[in-house]
Amino acid sequence: MKPWSRALVLSVMIAGSCNVQAVEYRHIQIAQSAVTFTYQQMGVTMEGTFGQWVADLRFDPDQPTAAQVTVDVDLAHIDTGSAEGNTEVAGKAWLNTPTFPTARFVAKSVEPLGDQRYTVTGSLTIKGRTQNIVIPTTFTSQGPIGVFAGHFTLHRADFAIGEGPWAAFDVVANDIQIQFRMTVHADTAPSTTAHLPQPQSQP
Amino acid sequence: MTSRYTATAKVLHWLMALLLLGLLALGFYMQELPLSPQKLQLYSWHKWAGVTVFLLVLFRLAWRVIHPPPPLPDHMPKVMRLAAHAGHALLYGLMLAIPLSGWLMSSAKGFQTVWFGVLPLPDLVGKNQELGNLLQSVHENLNLLFVAVIVGHIGAALKHHFIDRDDVLTRILPTCSTEKKS
């Protein structure tokens, strides 16, 4: 390789590394994130929230398949939409939170589909039962701030959520829709969001 | 003829009497139940029937405007006439206000009303637990008042029949109206 072409390659590499710098998004911003769910009760859509959860997440958009995701949801802080419902779901027929306080999702693979879309496949464990689930996810980023968003449907019967008199689906439907939006800062992100660099305009 | 009720008015009166007594009994019964699938079903049925009654009341009021009820008997003193009109106005007012308060209470408590599980009614107020509790006590107290007015309504009808011996009770009954001719 001639010296001039070597210089050219090098300069392209430098320019490239400036534009597409490898960043790892890993610092979850709980206050700008939410995991919610909806379910059907006698044909009425009810909204609920997972009030407390932690996520151990490492995601590099340049190496999505190397991503690591583990989400632990503290089920004692579930809000089903009513105080009566919250007391009920803690019981043995539903989530049995004294025995199984945590729901855990561990990603096994992250597959890029292009256009900021990914398929996250992993195992979801609730109430001692583990199921493989596929979660369509989008990842959008602006500088050091990334946002994962998506939703998927789980079948409560797969996890024995709602046993005995609740096992039939005529009153509470089997499908539970889970929505999530997780804001993640990259390693290079400043500690406060007040000094975000403006997106650079390229000629 | 204005001396008797139309067949439609009679059907509405007795159909709603049945529905309202059922709704009252169900309403007072279901709120004591512990949470169960049956309780959620009963609440839904109560709400569906409540919406139905509300629509029936609107139809009944329209019918009443077009087909005025027969006049009160001549023997009634002015005070009793006033009391009768006030009682009926109160019954109609409560038949409108009670389902409305129930609908608003459901919205405030975060349980949308979906008529027969199919037709969603809009939430006129957002989810607000304090407002929900307030509307619950409004709903309950309006129903207690409703029970009192119904007792008065039945008592007045029986007084007309057994003491005044006029046709105020019989003219709303389905069978007697054709037989009785004074």
Residues of chain B in contact with residue A170, where contact means CB-CB under 8 angstroms, are 37
- CATH fold of the domain at A21-184: Lipocalin (2.40.128)
pLDDT of residue B3: 72
- Comparing CB atoms, the residue among A43, A87, A171 nearest residue B118 is A43
Q: What share of chain A is helix, strand, coil (3-state, %, to 5)?
A: 20, 50, 30
Residue B1 counted as domain residue:
no
Given pLDDT bands bounded at 50, 70 and 90, which one contains residue A21? Answer: low
Buried b (16+ CB within 10 A) or exposed e, B13-23: beebeeebeeb
Q: Is A63 helix (H, G, I), strand (E, B) or coil?
A: coil
Given pLDDT bands bounded at 50, 70 and 90, which one contains residue B4? Answer: confident
Contact (CB, 8 A) for B177 and B171 = yes
Is residue A190 scored above 60 in pLDDT?
A: no
| Spatial separation of the C-alpha atoms in residues B139 and B145, rounded to whole Å | 10
pLDDT of residue A175: 98
What pTM, to 2 d.p., does this model score? 0.82
- Chain A residue with CA closest to B116: the answer is A43
| Spatial separation of the C-alpha atoms in residues A5 and A14, rounded to whole Å | 14
| Spatial separation of the C-alpha atoms in residues B31 and B61, rounded to whole Å | 30
Interhelix angle B7-30/B37-66, rounded to 10 degrees, is 150
Kindly provide the residue ranges of all beta strands, DSSP E only, lying in chain B, ordered along the sequence: 114-115, 119-120
Window A:154-183, CB contacts with B under 8 Å: 165-166, 168, 170-172
Given pLDDT bands bounded at 50, 70 and 90, which one contains residue A35? Answer: very high
What's the domain count of chain B?
1
Residue B174 counted as domain residue:
yes
Q: Is A136 helix (H, G, I), strand (E, B) or coil?
A: strand
The pLDDT tens digits of the residues spanning B84-131 come to: 999 999 999 999 999 999 999 999 999 999 999 999 999 999 999 999
CATH of residue B152: 1.20.950.20
Residue B2 counted as domain residue:
no
Average pLDDT of the segment spanning A73-85: 95
Structure tokens at A147: 């946002």
| Domain assignment of residue B60, given as a range | 7-179
Q: Which residues in B have their CB inside 8 Å of a CB on A?
A: 35-37, 40-41, 43-44, 109-114, 117-118, 120
Instruction: Number of A to B CB contacts under 8 A, please give it.
Output: 42
Count of alpha carbons within 13 Å of B68, Cβ hemisphere only?
6
Give the distance from residue A173's alpha carbon to the nearest chain B alpha carbon, in angstroms. 11
The pLDDT tens digits of the residues spanning B128-159 come to: 999 999 999 999 999 999 999 999 999 999 99
